[in-house]
C-alpha cells in the first residue's frame, strides 16, 4: 500500500508560490498606479485559482489520481491562508517602510470617490474616520489574512468540487 502524500506540504509549496506571484502582481499594479482599479485588483484572484488548481492536480498525481473533496478543500484553504499571510506581511512592510504615504493616497482616492457619488460632507467625514481606524497596521494585517482565508475557502469549495475524484469503494 502506497503512502498518501501530504496535503500540508503541497499547500505550503503552492501557498508560497501563490503569495509571491500575488506580491509581484500587486507591485506591478502599484508601480503603474492601477492599484485603485477594482477590476484589475480582482484579477489577482486568478492567481489564487491557478495556484489551487496546480496544487490539487499535483496532489492527485501523487495520490494515484485520487483526491477527496475534503482533501481539495483543505489544500485550497491552506494555500489561501499561507498566501494571505505572505501578502499581508508584504503590504504591512510596504506601507510602513517603502511608501509611507500609501495609506493617505488611498484615503484621498476614497474621499474623491465619495465626493463624486454626491455624499454629504458629514457622511464623508464619518466614513473617513472609520476608514482611518481600519487602516491601522494591525487591523489591516488581520483583516487581510481573514478575507484571504474566507475568499480562498469559497473558491476552494468550487475548485475542489470540480477536481475531486474519489477512490472506488471496492478496489
Query: Taking 60 as the threshold, does the pLDDT of residue 1 lie above it?
Result: no
Contact 79, 52 (CB under 8 A): yes
What are the residue ranges spanned by the domains of the chain?
7-163
pLDDT in tens, 99-129: 889 888 888 888 888 888 888 888 888 888 8
pLDDT in tens, 8-32: 999 999 999 999 999 999 999 999 9
Query: CA–CA separation, 10 vs 38, rounded Å?
Result: 30
Closest C-alpha among 168, 158, 170, 153 to residue 66: 168
pLDDT in tens, 45-60: 999 999 999 999 999 9
**% of residues, the chain, pLDDT over 70:** 98
Q: What is the pLDDT of residue 2?
A: 61
Q: Write down the pTM of the prediction.
A: 0.88
Amino acid at each position: 500500500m502506497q503512502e498518501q502524500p501530504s496535503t500540508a506540504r503541497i499547500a505550503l509549496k503552492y501557498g508560497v508560490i501563490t503569495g509571491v506571484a500575488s506580491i509581484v502582481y500587486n507591485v506591478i499594479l502599484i508601480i503603474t498606479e492601477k492599484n485603485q482599479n477594482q477590476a484589475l485588483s480582482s484579477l489577482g484572484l486568478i492567481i489564487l485559482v491557478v495556484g489551487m488548481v496546480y496544487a490539487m492536480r499535483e496532489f492527485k498525481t501523487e495520490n494515484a489520481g485520487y483526491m477527496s473533496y475534503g482533501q481539495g478543500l483543505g489544500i485550497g484553504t491552506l494555500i489561501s491562508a499561507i498566501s494571505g499571510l505572505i501578502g499581508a506581511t508584504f503590504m504591512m512592510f510596504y506601507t510602513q517602510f517603502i511608501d509611507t504615504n500609501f495609506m493617505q493616497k488611498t484615503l484621498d482616492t476614497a474621499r474623491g470617490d465619495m465626493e463624486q457619488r454626491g455624499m454629504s460632507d458629514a457622511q464623508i467625514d464619518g466614513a473617513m474616520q472609520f476608514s482611518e481606524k481600519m487602516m491601522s497596521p494591525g487591523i489591516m494585517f488581520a483583516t487581510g489574512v481573514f478575507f484571504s482565508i474566507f475568499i480562498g475557502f469559497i473558491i476552494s469549495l468550487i475548485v475542489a468540487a470540480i477536481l475531486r475524484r474519489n477512490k472506488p469503494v471496492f478496489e
